[in-house]
Amino acid sequence: MKKFEDKAEKGQIVTVQEIKEKYIELVGHEIGSGQIHKLLKRNGYRKVMPRSKHPNKASEETIETTKKLKKQ
Q: In angstroms, rounded to a whole number, what is the distance separating the alpha carbons of residues 64 and 37?
A: 44
**Each residue of 18-35: pLDDT tens digit?**
999 999 999 999 999 999
User: What is the distance, to the nearest Å, from the Cα of residue 65 to the centroid of all Cα atoms in its chain?
Assistant: 34
CA–CA separation, 9 and 44 (whole Å): 15
pLDDT of residue 11: 82
CA distances 7 to 4, 10, 11, 30, Å, are 5, 5, 7, 24
Q: With contact defined as beta carbons under 8 Å apart, do 17 and 33 qualify? A: yes
For residue 35, the model assigns a pLDDT of 92
Ordered by start, the domain boundaries in the chain are 1-49
Q: How many residues are recorded in the chain?
A: 72
Q: What is the pLDDT of residues 43-55, one digit of tens each?
A: 888 887 777 778 7
